[in-house]
Structure 1
Amino acid sequence: MVWIYRLVLWIVDGLLPFASLFSPRLALFVKGRKDLFGKLSDFRKSHDGKLVWFHVASLGEFEQAKPLIHLWKQKKPETRILVSFFSPSGYEPVIKRQDQDLDGVVYLPLDRVGYVRKFLEILRPDIVFFVKYDLWFNFLKEIAYRQIPLYLISASFREDQVFFKRRGFFRKPLFFFDQIFTQNEKSDKLLSQIGFSRYTKVGDTRFDRVAATANSPKAFPQIRTWIGEKKTIVLGSVWEEDMEILIPLINSHPDYSWLIAPHSMNPEPMEKWKAKIILPSQFYTGWDSTKSSSVLFVNTIGMLSSLYQFAHVAYVGGAFGAGLHNILEPIGFGVPVIFGKVRKAGKFPEAMEAVEKGCGFEVKDHKELEVVFESLASSEYYSQSQKAAKEWVKSNLGAAEKIYELTSKLQ
C-alpha cells in the first residue's frame, strides 16, 4: 500500500501544474509552493532557536490551534512559531492578518519522501503539533523516526473514519503520535478499541478561542449606532440554501435588525438576496448612514466572529451544503444559535451537543425555523437558552492550557 501511495503522489505532483491552469484554487495551491524550500531556508536563517511547528488543514483548524499558539508565545516568547497550511482557503486569509503570535506561515509540500526530508532538514523543529486531522503518512513517519515530539490536538474521531475500519497503512498514522489530545470520550473509546493508549481528553480548544474573542471583540461603533435598541439577528457564513429559508423569516419580522455575513464575498448572490428582501437593505462597503435600513450585508471578510456581539439570536450556515460552519463563535457570546439539518452529525459533534445543552437549534426547513424563532421570542425560553450557552462554554475552558502544560515540559 505504501508503494501505491507513493505512486499516486508522484502522479499528482506531475499533473498539478497542468490542472492549475483550469482551477483558481489549484493555481493558488501551486503558486504558494513555488520555491518553498528557499523560503523555508530564509525563514530559518532569520529565525534561529527553538521552533514549534503547527500543521493545520485550513482556517477552521488554525482557529483551534490559535489558543495553544498564543500560550506558547505568551509564556515562552523566545520560541519561534511556524504554521503550515495545506489549503489556500486557510493560508491566504492568515498570511494577510500579520498575526503577532506567528513567526512564519507556509504551505505544506506534498507528502513525498524527498520533500518531507528536505522540509524537516531545513526547519529542524523541536516539537510538532498536527491539528484535528490532515494526517500525512510520510511526514508523520519521518517526524517519529527523527524522535521529534509529535502531538495531535483537538482530535475528534468517528467510527466511519478509515483509521478504525482498516488496519496497516491506514491506521498507522495514529501510532506515530507520542500523544493524542481528544475532544470527547467517544474519541477516547475509539482509540482504545484499536489498542492506542496514549490519549488524554482535554476538550475542544475552540472554546478557549471563542471565549477570548467574546472577551475582546473588535469594535464596530457605526454598526452599534445603527442597531440602537433594536434586537439584532446575525446570519453568519450563509449560503444560498440557507437564505432560501431565511429570506421569508426576514421579510416577516421587520421589527428586528438583520446582519448578513455570507460565506462567499461574491456580489452576485448578495444582490439576488437583496432583491428578494422587502426590507430596506444596504451593503457595508457602500453604507450610507443617512439612509434608513433594517438589513446590512457585511460584504467584507474578517468581521464575523466579532459581529456576534450584537446578536440576540444567531443563525450559522453551511449545514445544507458544504458543511456547518462554526456555531461556537456565537455561543461564546452566550447567544442561542440556529442552524440547518446536519447531514453527517458525526462530523459536527458540537452541533448535537449544543442541541442537547439547549443553546443550539437544528431546523430542516422554513416552517421549523419559524417555530424555533417564535420559541426564542419567549423571554423565559430565551434566558434558559442563553444561560445554557454560557455554562457550556465555561465548563469547557482550559483545553489549551492543559495541552501546553503537558507538552511544554519537553522544552
Structure 2
Amino acid sequence: MKWIYRIGIFLARILLLLGGLFIPKIKHFSSGRKNLFQRLTDFRSENVGPLAWFHVASLGEYEQARPVIAELKRVRPDQLIAVSFFSPSGYDNAIKKDQLNVDFITYLPLDSKTLAKKFVKNLKPDVAFFVKYDLWYHHIEAIKSREIPMVLFSAAFRPDQIYFKRNGFFRKILFQFDYIFTQNQSTLELLKSIDYQDANLTGDTRFDRVSETAKNFKEFPELAKWIGARQAIVAGSVWQEDMDLLIPLMNANPEYRWIVAPHDLNPEPMNRWSAQLSLSATRYSQWDSDLSPEVIFIDNIGMLSSLYQFAKVAYVGGAFGKGLHNILEPLGFGIPVIFGKVKKAAKFPEGGESEKYGCGFEVSDEESLKSVFAKLEQPEFYQQSADSAKKWVQMNSGAADKIIAKVEDLITKA
C-alpha cells in the first residue's frame, strides 16, 4: 500500500504541473509553494529556539487551532509558532494580516518522502500539532523518525472512514500520534474499537474560539445606529438554496433589519436577490449610512463573526450544498441558530447536538422555516433557546487548556 500511495503522490505532482498550465486554481496551488524552503530556511536562521508546528487543512481548521496556539503562548511565551496550510484559500486569508501569536505561516509541501523529510528537518519543531484531519503519511513519518511529540486535536472521525474499515497503511497513521484529543464521544469510541488507547474527549476547540470572539467582537457603530430600536436577523454564509427559503421570510417580515452575508462575494447574486425582495436593500460597500434600507448585504470578508452581536436570531447557510458553515459563531453570542437540512449529518455533528440542546433548528423548506421563525418570536420559547445556547457553549469551552496541559506533559517526557 505504501508504494501505491507514493505512486499516487507522484502522479498528483505531474497532474498539478500539467493542470497549472490551463487551470488558474491549480496554478495558484502550485505557484504558492515556490520558494517555500527558502522562506523556511530564512525564517529559521533568523528565529532560533523552540518551535511548535501546527498543520491545518484550511481556514476552518485554523480557527480551531487558534485557541490552542493562544494557550500555548500563554504557558510558553518564548515558544515560536509556525502554521502550515494545505489549502490556498486558507493560506491566502491568513497572510492578509498579522496573525496574533503566530510567527511563521507557510504552505505544506506535497507529501513526498523527500519533501516531507526536508520540511521537518528545516523547520525543526519541538512539538507538532495536527488539527481535525489532513493527515499526511510522509510528514507524520518524518516527525516520528525525529522523536518529536505529535498530537491530533479536535478529531472527529466517522465509521465509514478508511482508518476503521481495515487494518493496514492508513490505520497505522493514527498510531503514530502520541495523543489524540477528540471532539465527541463517538470518535473516542471509534479509536477504542481499533485499540488506540492514548485518546481523550476534550471537545471542539471552536467553542473556545467563539467564546473569545463573543467577548472581544469588533464594533460597527454605523450598523448599531441603523438597527436602532428594531430587532435584527443575521444570515451568514448563505448560498442560493438558502436564499430561496429566506427571501419569502424576509418579504413577510419587513419590521426586522436583515443583515445577509453571502458565501460568494460576486455582486450578481446579491443584485438578483435584491430584485426579488419587496424590501429596500443595498450592499455594505455601497451603503450611504444616512439612508435606512431594510436589508444590507455584506460584500466583504472578515465582518461576519462579529455581526452576530446584532442578531436576535441567526441563520447559517451551506447545509443544502457543500456543507453547513459555522453555526457555533452565533451560538457563542447566545443566539439561537437556524440552518438547512444537513445532507451528511455525521460530518457536521454540531447540527444535531445543537438541536438536542434546544438552541439549533434544522429546516428543509419555506414552511418549516416559517414555523421555526414563528416559534422563536414567542418570548418564552426564545428565551429558553437563547439560554440553551449560552449553556451549551459554556459547557464545551475549555478544550484548549486541557490539550496544552497534556502536551506540556508530553514535552517534558520527550
Q: What is the TM-score when the length of structure 1 is the normalising length?
A: 0.99
Q: Which amino acid aligns with 1:342?
A: V
1:54 aligns with 2:44: no
Q: Which amino acid aligns with 1:57?
A: A
What secondary structure sits across from 1:226 in the alignment? helix
1:237 aligns with 2:243: no
Match of 1:110 in 2: 110
Aligned-residue identity in percent? 54
CA RMSD of aligned residues (A): 0.9
* Residue range with higher mean Cα deviation, 69-78 or 347-356: 69-78
Q: Which amino acid aligns with 1:20?
A: G
Give distance in 1, aligned partners of 2:235 and 2:325. Answer: 11
Match of 1:353 in 2: 353
Give distance in 1, aligned partners of 2:73 and 2:328. Answer: 24
1:126 aligns with 2:105: no
- What is the deviation of 1:100? 2.4
Q: What is the TM-score when the length of structure 2 is the normalising length?
A: 0.98
Q: Which amino acid aligns with 2:2?
A: V
1:83 aligns with 2:87: no
Match of 2:41 in 1: 41
Give distance in 2, aligned partners of 1:145 and 1:122. Answer: 14
Give distance in 2, aligned partners of 1:65 and 1:16. Answer: 28
Q: Classify 1:273/1:22 alpha carbon distance in 2 versus 1 (closer, same or farther; 3 Å).
A: farther
- What is the deviation of 1:141? 1.6
Q: Which amino acid aligns with 1:347?
A: K
- What is the deviation of 1:203? 0.9
Match of 1:156 in 2: 156
Match of 2:318 in 1: 318
Q: Which amino acid aligns with 1:157?
A: F
Match of 1:392 in 2: 392
- What is the deviation of 1:18? 2.0
Give distance in 1, aligned partners of 2:12 and 2:199. Answer: 34
Structure 1 segments (4+ residues) deviating >4 Å: none
- What is the deviation of 1:378? 0.2
What secondary structure sits across from 1:292 in the alignment? coil
User: Deviation per CA, 1:96-137, whole angstroms, max 9, x where unpaired?
Assistant: 121121101100000000000110110110000000000111
- What is the deviation of 1:373? 0.4
Q: How many residues align?
A: 411
Q: Classify 1:275/1:21 alpha carbon distance in 2 versus 1 (closer, same or farther; 3 Å).
A: farther
What secondary structure sits across from 2:235 in the alignment? strand
* Residue range with higher mean Cα deviation, 75-84 or 326-335: 75-84
- What is the deviation of 1:11? 1.3
Give distance in 2, aligned partners of 1:46 and 1:284. Answer: 42
Give distance in 2, aligned partners of 1:270 and 1:23. Answer: 27
What secondary structure sits across from 2:102 in the alignment? coil
Give distance in 1, aligned partners of 2:405 and 2:54. Answer: 17
- What is the deviation of 1:265? 1.0
1:29 aligns with 2:29: yes
Q: Which amino acid aligns with 2:198?
A: R
Give distance in 1, aligned partners of 2:23 and 2:90. Answer: 17
Pairwise mapping of residues 4-403 of structure 1 onto structure 2 (< 5 A)?
Answer: 4-403=4-403
- What is the deviation of 1:274? 1.2
User: Deviation per CA, 1:284-336, whole angstroms, max 9, x where unpaired?
Assistant: 11111222201000101000000000000000000000100000000000000
Give distance in 1, aligned partners of 2:22 and 2:227. Answer: 44
Q: Which amino acid aligns with 2:39?
A: K
- What is the deviation of 1:246? 0.7
Q: Which amino acid aligns with 2:31?
A: K
What secondary structure sits across from 2:21 in the alignment? helix
Give the unaligned 5+ runs of structure 2: none
Q: Which amino acid aligns with 1:58?
A: S
